Structure 1
């Protein structure tokens, strides 16, 4: 019997796969036989090794700065079509910086505008492979985040975009779904995870009483990319240990 989670021979691209959730998802696919390419903003993978908790073992690295609105188109023109594309790029600005126009624009550009830029750039390739796109948003899409309005609004926009692309591109043979992670220790959540009192308060709100891991998110991505999810489109799977249940 064929293993539905065997991705041997499949080509996977993880945008933002240089660290955090994206890196965990990339290795989830690699460990199941996929040929995985990851992107990051720095010129070379080696630039990450001392600064961040990154692992590029067995991964192909490409530089991609999505603040350049044409960068995704250029990358798409340089690579063969992918079977799976995971969009895991993300930005947040604390200390009420997102209430300013510059702060708002910079976060929305990464968390929402670039998601559509990537989707548009790789649409033809995914249609050719009858592939899968997975958009990583956040549980912030479904609640207030009082200090980061652009983050919450852009993630809500990404979850909404997942629905629309799921419906619009099904006719092209492309399945689009999403993942909404809860609290996972990454550079974006270090404002909470690096402070014991804040972390303890956050853990009390999570029924499973632990943070999520990049591996938890990888499990959800593998499911959504697999034949097990063949009849699922336009959905965002909440992976938060129960955080948003009450």
Structure 2
């Protein structure tokens, strides 16, 4: 049976991914810095882990605690809404440490198990990776790096039987986006820029992750699956 380790599992996207993967029969290892925010295990196929993706030892310990790991989902991430001049170097480095280096730490720690089990990695990137947006300097750079990390790991680890892909949604209703989605002006502008005229639901992201993790995507690696309602077409 496939075991999926989901980082950032307490967030809206992480919870949706857990629900989608659990529905397919996967065992789940739910990991987050805030374990109190994680839903209690529904059954013996779910385990809970405290994880700090900025700490290499924490990453290694959580991976070691997961039996039969065959899927890593990098959903841990933070957003700081500041311009380039407002962003201090420490903040810039911290966002990259969580969103980009954290995903690399987890991927590297999980490599032996994934190689042994014919596994896969799916990371949560963003349309900020390729569409420049004001007030999101560190976040945009981190997601651009994560998307390219996906391609590089896919290339290097294909010989090990590991597929590496990412999902890049536009705005998803969550605690991270609650501030901007509470602004009617932002919502009007954002929806006008999305041809389909609606935010991307967390369940849509979860469905994309489930597909990329499934046998149906056995020949797919190094890809960034964009979920933006057509926003990037303009």
Considering the TM-score relative to the shorter chain, is it more than 0.5?
Answer: yes
Distance in 2 (CA, whole Å) between partners of 1:101 and 1:145 is 19
| Equivalent pairs, count | 230
Deviation, structure 1 residue 78: 2.2
Residue equivalent to 2:226: 238
1:204-229 per-residue CA deviation (whole Å, 9 max, x = no partner) reads: 21111111111101111111111111
Residue equivalent to 2:5: 13
2:193 matches 1:205: yes
Deviation, structure 1 residue 144: 1.0
Residue equivalent to 1:221: 209
Distance in 2 (CA, whole Å) between partners of 1:192 and 1:55 is 26
Deviation, structure 1 residue 68: 1.9
Distance in 1 (CA, whole Å) between partners of 2:156 and 2:18 is 26
* Residue number among 77, 98, 101 corresponding to 2:64 in the alignment: 77
Residue equivalent to 1:32: 24
Residue equivalent to 1:143: 131
Task: Say whether the 8 Å CA contact 2:79–2:139 is kept in structure 1.
Answer: yes
Distance in 2 (CA, whole Å) between partners of 1:137 and 1:127 is 23
Residue equivalent to 1:86: 73
Is there any run of 5+ residues in structure 2 with no aligned partner, and where? none
User: Which SS does the other structure have where 2:172 is aligned?
Assistant: coil
- TM-score (ref. length: structure 2): 0.93
1:17-54 per-residue CA deviation (whole Å, 9 max, x = no partner) reads: 11211111111001121111111102x3xx32xxxxx6
CA RMSD of aligned residues (A): 1.6
2:169 matches 1:181: yes
Deviation, structure 1 residue 70: 2.2
Could you tell which deviates more after superposition, 219-228 or 196-205?
196-205
Distance in 1 (CA, whole Å) between partners of 2:197 and 2:138 is 28
Residue equivalent to 1:166: 154
Deviation, structure 1 residue 76: 1.7
Deviation, structure 1 residue 67: 2.4
- TM-score (ref. length: structure 1): 0.89
Distance in 1 (CA, whole Å) between partners of 2:232 and 2:136 is 18
